[in-house]
């Protein structure tokens, strides 16, 4: 049987940390409802200690969403954990996600703590969080640059303290896919009580590798991926939910697991997040960019018109697009041109008329990025008038 891959969406927490992407309480609730419709398993709604507004937003999301688990972030500090516990009270199912840095540079320069103190604080934080919920996630921040043996010690201790999810963040997006996959495998094989917890990953995109690193981790045993809609997040962002989900769904020949995501909701969620944050989606963005299922070249259009699988590895409809799209431009061929005319109900009487119209179309296409339906209508009436 295929394992379940848990999708933990952090658009409302790490996504909101993108400079300029902060959201109101009402906006967070709208996005959370869209994530719930998509059947996201866990929604990280915010960082309740960060502000009164964020506390209230987590509370509102916890009250509004019933089918997804709602999570609040907390540093390994009593005040943070108590605040998260309080904000999550209205939730049907809650999780506290507590974290402390474990890399040498973070422990020395940021926390100014000895490694033993870090372990002590991590254990204390998990135990305190367990007083509010039996679902506690622990993250060793900057795990991607931490000493692997030290990571093993911290993680073994927090499992004993009651953490049921161990999230391994590549906080600064430093890892390469093979390396990150090996790290997950080593942790699972070395930590004596590893089978008592689910391994999760949280990858940043500083080198453009967040999705690749997440997928490598899944192949090596991670069963939760933390991600955001459109890859929003601190600096260059997080792993994009739509890319992780569709890679796993499309390549079931490789992955031993699958998500429960209703993929037909992806485009709607992407547009909602883009509209609310004002962060435009680049046209060539995988899955959700307007060109993700568009074909312009004549060779591709001809292939797709004969059989969509020639140039499409997924169906546009499966991720929520109405259909795939033939873009008429200077690279387009006669087959796509003729098909579009037929779709517009334009009947040309002879092959000679079609040839004349196609020549005029190519002349126009050389002057424009895209030839739209209105251009075609005008072009055809001109062609018929000329003859
Ligand atoms: O990137 C990171 O390390 C985080 C943690 C809080 C999980 O966002
Ligand atoms: Zn992060």
Residue 44 Cβ < 6 Å to ligand 1: no
Tell me the mean pLDDT in the region 197-217.
98
Please name which ligand lies nearest the alpha carbon of 168.
1
Of 145, 199, 204, best ligand 1 pocket probe by most atoms within 8 Å of the beta carbon = 204
DSSP string, 264-300: GGHHHHHHHHHHHH--PPPTT-TTTSTTTTEE-SHHH
Q: pLDDT (tens digit, 9 = 90+) per residue, 308-328?
A: 999 999 999 999 999 999 999
Is the ipTM higher than 0.90? The answer is: yes
Taking the C-alpha atoms of residue 61 and residue 66, their distance in angstroms, rounded to an integer, is 9
Residue 206 confidence (pLDDT) above 60: yes
CB 247 within 8 A of CB 218: no
Residue 259 Cβ < 6 Å to ligand 1: no
Residue 99 Cβ < 6 Å to ligand 1: yes
Residue 13 Cβ < 6 Å to ligand 1: no
Distance 202 CA to ligand 1 centre (A): 7
Query: In whole angstroms, what separates CA 244 from the centre of its chain?
Result: 6
> What mean pLDDT is reported for the chain?
97
Backbone angles phi, psi at 320, to 5 degrees: 105, 5
Distance 141 CA to ligand 2 centre (A): 9
**Band (387; pLDDT cuts 50, 70, 90):** low
Residue 1 confidence (pLDDT) above 70: no
Binding residues for Mn(2+), as ranges, are: 14, 202, 204, 238
C-alpha separations of 317 from 289, 304, 326 in Å: 14, 15, 15
Check residue 2 and give its pLDDT. 78
C-alpha separations of 352 from 27, 59, 349, 357, 387 in Å: 56, 68, 8, 9, 11
Structure tokens at 272: 């909602």
Residue 332 Cβ < 6 Å to ligand 1: no
């Amino acid at each position: 049987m295929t394992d379940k891959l848990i999708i933990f969406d952090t658009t409302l927490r790490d996504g909101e940390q993108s400079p300029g992407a902060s959201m109101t309480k009402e906006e967070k609730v709208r996005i959370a409802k869209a994530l719930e419709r998509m059947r996201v398993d866990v929604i990280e709604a915010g960082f309740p200690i960060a502000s009164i507004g964020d506390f209230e937003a987590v509370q509102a999301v916890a009250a509004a969403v019933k089918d997804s688990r709602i999570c609040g972030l907390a540093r390994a500090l009593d005040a943070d954990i108590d605040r998260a516990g309080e904000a999550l009270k209205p939730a049907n199912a809650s999780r506290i996600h507590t974290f402390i840095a474990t890399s040498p540079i973070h422990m020395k320069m940021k926390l100014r703590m000895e490694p033993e103190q870090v372990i002590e604080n991590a254990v204390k934080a998990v135990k305190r969080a367990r007083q509010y919920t039996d679902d506690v996630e622990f993250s060793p921040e900057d795990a991607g640059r931490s000493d692997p043996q030290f990571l093993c010690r911290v993680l073994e201790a927090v499992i004993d303290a009651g953490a049921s999810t161990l999230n391994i963040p590549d906080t600064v997006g430093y890892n390469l896919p093979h390396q990150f996959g090996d790290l997950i495998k080593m942790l699972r094989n070395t930590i004596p009580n590893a089978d008592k917890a689910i391994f999760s990953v949280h990858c940043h995109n500083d080198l453009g590798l967040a999705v690749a690193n997440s997928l490598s981790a899944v192949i090596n045993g991670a069963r939760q991926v933390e991600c955001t809609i459109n890859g929003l997040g601190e600096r260059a962002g997080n792993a994009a939910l739509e890319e992780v989900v569709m890679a796993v769904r499309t390549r079931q020949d490789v992955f031993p697991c699958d998500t429960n995501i209703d993929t037909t909701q992806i485009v709607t969620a992407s547009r909602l997040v883009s509209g609310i944050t004002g962060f435009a989606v680049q046209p060539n963005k995988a899955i959700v960019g307007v060109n993700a299922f568009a074909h312009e070249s004549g060779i591709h259009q001809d292939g797709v018109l004969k059989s969509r699988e020639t140039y499409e590895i997924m169906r546009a409809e499966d991720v929520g697009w109405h259909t795939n799209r033939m873009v008429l431009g200077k690279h387009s061929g006669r087959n796509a041109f003729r098909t579009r005319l037929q779709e517009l109900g334009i009947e040309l009487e002879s092959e000679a008329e079609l040839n004349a119209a196609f020549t005029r179309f190519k002349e126009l296409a050389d002057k424009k990025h895209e030839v739209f339906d209105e251009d075609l209508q005008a072009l055809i009436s001109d062609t018929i008038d000329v003859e």
